[in-house]
Amino acid sequence: MAVVTINHPPANSFDLGTSREFARMIEEVEGDNHVRVLIITGGGGKCFSAGFDVRDAGNAEAIGEVIRLLWTKLDAFHKPVIAALNGHTLGGGLELALCCHFRVAAEIPGLKIGLTELNLGIMPGWGGTQRLSRLVGRSEALEMILMSKTLTPEQALQRGLVDAVVPPDLLLSHAMEKAERLAERPPVAVRWVLKAIAAGEYEGLEQGLAVEEQGSVFLRGTRDQDEGMSAFLEKRKPVFKGE
């Protein structure tokens, strides 16, 4: 497992330097075969991330180019990604969380989750108009975006925007426990499942089904499949090695 912490006070927002450094961290995790699950969280405790750093407005175009590519990479990442929302998750910060496969939020009074860009006369530009509705539905997404409506962690849980709400001191341990369970799953099969789902979302149902079929054929020749079948017959827990 790998934990990447966004540490850019005071709001863990993304300027050009932070964006590029974050991209390097994600590339490192992507290329590390020993890492099976990625956890993303925020440093400092006040914010998971507030998105775009307005202090670096002069680099807005360059930041957008880096972030849009990176968020799409995460949305189709071949390893499970968990967002541990330890503080306010707003604007581009929520757009980042929407790209993760799982989201768990800290039960903190006053914690806000939303896409509030319209308060500034702008709009979500890092994928929020497309990805929010996948989780909460079209009407709720429009309500949140057009009215800059924010949700509490409990409201986000009710709407399916987050998967769990836990006390702040248990947030990372909860994410780690989930990551441990995911890390025990067969890595090659996990990769193909994520690839098939991403293909369906980005390229349509027909392509998603085609990738699913390709994955099913590929997995028949893996050692992980042999291990899974043997463990089932021997009534023991399988040990998958990603082979």
Indicate if 95 belongs to the active site. yes
* Per annotation, catalytic residue among 95, 140, 177, 203: 95
* Per annotation, catalytic residue among 27, 28, 107, 117: 117
How many H helices and E strands in the chain? 10, 8
Going by pLDDT thresholds of 50, 70 and 90, the confidence category of residue 217 is very high
Going by pLDDT thresholds of 50, 70 and 90, the confidence category of residue 226 is confident
* Residues 68-113: tens digit of each pLDDT: 999 999 999 999 999 999 999 999 999 999 999 999 999 999 999 9
42 closest CA partner among 179, 177, 171, 181: 171
Rounded CA separation 169/173 (Å): 8
Domain ranges of the chain: 2-183, 187-234
Distance, CA of 196 to chain centre: 17
Give the pLDDT confidence score for residue 228 in this predicted structure. Answer: 86
Report the amino acid identity of residue 154.
Answer: E
Indicate if 21 belongs to the active site. no
Q: What is the CATH number of domain 2-183?
A: 3.90.226.10
32 versus 227: the higher-pLDDT residue is 32
* Residues 172-199: tens digit of each pLDDT: 999 999 999 999 999 999 999 999 999 9
Rounded CA separation 89/96 (Å): 9
Q: Strand pairing partners for 6?
A: 42
